[in-house]
Amino acid sequence: MKYFFCFLVLTTASFTICAQQPRIISGPMLGPVELRDAKIWVEVSQEVKSAAVQVNKKGETKSRTLTYKGDLGNEFNPIYFTVGGLDFNTTYQYKIWINGKASTGAGEFTTKDLWQWRKPVPEFSFLTGSCSYFNQPEYDRKYTDMVKLDRPATPYGKDSSIFQTMAKEKAAFMLWLGDAWYTRDVDYYSEWGLWYRASHDRAIPILQNFWKAMPQLAIWDDHDYGPNDIGKNYILKETSRKVFNSYFCNPSSGENGQGTYTMTSWGDADIFMTDDRWWRSADRMKDSVDGKPNPEKTMLGKQQMDWLKNSLLYSSATFKIIAVGSQVLNPASPYDKLSRCPAEYDELMNFLKEYKINGVIFLTGDRHHSEIIKVDRPGTYSLYDITVSPLTSGTHSFGGPEKNNPYRVLGIDEKQNYGRFTFSGKANERKLTVEFLGVKGEKLGEWSIMEKDLKTPR
């Protein structure tokens, strides 16, 4: 018995030491990769005292090391490095160092090419999707039908191997369309809970190869912002913004400490990444007052709307993709959408028409089905709202007023899926192809449009 006790003590001590070894919790993840710099994100454990990234051109041994200068030792330690002074159209390798030792966290990236005024416009693809739910039974809701408490719910999170499929894609980047993680009831009003949820879901093992397979960019929607359907009244919105900006390293995040909107460019496409939560009015606020659009009901807010208008006017891109967490068009939908804020909706639609903004496509998430909605506009080109959802959360069937939606060009329900947007063709004859792909990469639907079909008639 004496010897057994000694063995138990030593085993327990050894386990404690191992459990507290400094390590990478999740990542590395690629952030934006530009012509001359790249962002590399990683979350490290509380025991880490120093972190660095070593970078070299692929095929060369000469390298340089950047040491992280910020705080470490916190319960949650998401950090990122900005590696500058890079050459364009060049592949680099990198490795994360923890406490002076090389870790298993390694990967590579290729900077953008300087093609403008030098080469034909490049062909490229990006991936997109929304609604990524990972089951955690102790915090998940137990029943789908709260009336029939004797019937256990089907787990809401579905087949996460979709991320293994996506990691094999040769895409320029991934654009998350909201709900990259799902806060639970226990998280909603807990600052610690918001940090925990992002950290927990980011560290899911099946995601790790995907994080470093391509640059990751994101907008948010309600579930990675806070409680379901909440907007500007969320009391932890400041914390939520800090968490989101700590677990994604977008090119920028709003202005003056407000919102998370930003943009990115690739080839001849500008992607405007909007924030549909920070300024959002309660869904139950009246759409109209005395028969007129209610100017107090907003989704984007004045600050963001001004930025979006000026950004669209400045853009010379063939395709101007406006990414929003909620749908924008879809006249048949009874759910939240920009047109439920008619003053803002009319303002944006009138602006697009008055200034003859060409090439506009709306890209949205949220709905747990994928579809393409087409809305005609008298005197100018039709607008399209392309919804891609869900990645791993629950699905549903088209029903109610949307069952035979006359505005729907293509629809996919009851299936997990992600989207692939491909831009091809020579200058002035560019083509956008949208493919909806299943868990194993099987094609579920395809649609395309030419740039000439997104231009104001002369």
pLDDT (tens digit, 9 = 90+) per residue, 49-95? Answer: 999 999 999 999 999 999 999 999 999 999 999 999 999 999 999 99
Band of residue 2 on the pLDDT scale cut at 50, 70, 90? very low
Return d(Cα 183, Cα 198) in angstroms, integer: 8
Full-model pTM: 0.94
Band of residue 152 on the pLDDT scale cut at 50, 70, 90? low
Contacts of 357 (CB under 8 A, 6+ apart): 312, 313, 320, 351
Give the per-residue pLDDT at 5.
42
Q: Which of 195-199, 287-291, 383-387 has the lowest mean pLDDT?
A: 287-291
Tokens 């997990």 belong to 416
Does 237 score more than 70 pLDDT?
A: yes
Question: What is the percentage of the chain residues whose pLDDT exceeds 90?
Answer: 92
Question: In the predicted model, what is the mean pLDDT of the chain?
Answer: 94
Question: What is the percentage of the chain residues whose pLDDT exceeds 70?
Answer: 93
CA atoms within 13 A on the CB side of 381: 19
Tokens 């454990």 belong to 45
Tokens 């094999």 belong to 168
Return d(Cα 248, Cα 216) in angstroms, integer: 8
| DSSP track, 382-445 | EEEEEE---SSS------GGGTT-TTEEEEE-SS--EEEEEEESSTTS-EEEEEEE-TTS-EEE
Give the per-residue pLDDT at 47.
97
Q: Give residue 369's Cα distance to chain centre.
A: 17
Structure tokens at 291: 């028969």
Q: What is the mean pLDDT of residues 197-226?
A: 98
pLDDT (tens digit, 9 = 90+) per residue, 114-129? Answer: 999 999 999 999 999 9
Q: What is the mean pLDDT of residues 383-398?
A: 97
Does 150 score more than 70 pLDDT?
A: no
Q: Give residue 279's Cα distance to chain centre.
A: 19
Q: What is the mean pLDDT of residues 215-221?
A: 98
Q: Give residue 17's Cα distance to chain centre.
A: 37
Return d(Cα 127, Cα 261) in angstroms, integer: 19
Return d(Cα 36, Cα 118) in angstroms, integer: 17
Q: Give residue 287's Cα distance to chain centre.
A: 28
Is residue 64 within 8 A of residue 57, CB to CB? The reply is: no
Q: Among 27, 5, 20, which residue's Cα sits nearest to residue 212?
A: 27
Give the per-residue pLDDT at 19.
55
Q: What domains sit in the chain, N to C, each tagged with a CATH number? A: 22-110 (2.60.40.10), 124-454 (3.60.21.70)
DSSP 235: T
Does 214 score more than 80 pLDDT?
A: yes
Structure tokens at 384: 């399209």
Give the per-residue pLDDT at 143.
52
Buried b or exposed e, range 426-448, using 16+ CB within 10 angstroms: eeeebbbebbbbbbeeeeebeee
Band of residue 141 on the pLDDT scale cut at 50, 70, 90? confident
Q: Among 258, 385, 279, 383, which residue's Cα sits nearest to residue 341?
A: 279
**Does the CA dihedral 67-68-74-79 come out positive or negative?**
negative
Tokens 């093609």 belong to 115
Q: Report phi then psi at 305, rounded to 5.
A: -65, -40
CA atoms within 13 A on the CB side of 96: 29
Is residue 2 within 8 A of residue 23, CB to CB? The reply is: no
Give the per-residue pLDDT at 20.
77
Q: What is the mean pLDDT of residues 142-162?
A: 70
Does 14 score more than 80 pLDDT?
A: no
pLDDT (tens digit, 9 = 90+) per residue, 156-191? Answer: 999 999 999 999 999 999 999 999 999 999 999 999
Is residue 134 within 8 A of residue 160, CB to CB? The reply is: yes
pLDDT (tens digit, 9 = 90+) per residue, 320-361? Answer: 999 999 999 999 999 999 999 999 999 999 999 999 999 999
Does 13 score more than 70 pLDDT?
A: no
Does 226 score more than 80 pLDDT?
A: yes
SS3 381: strand
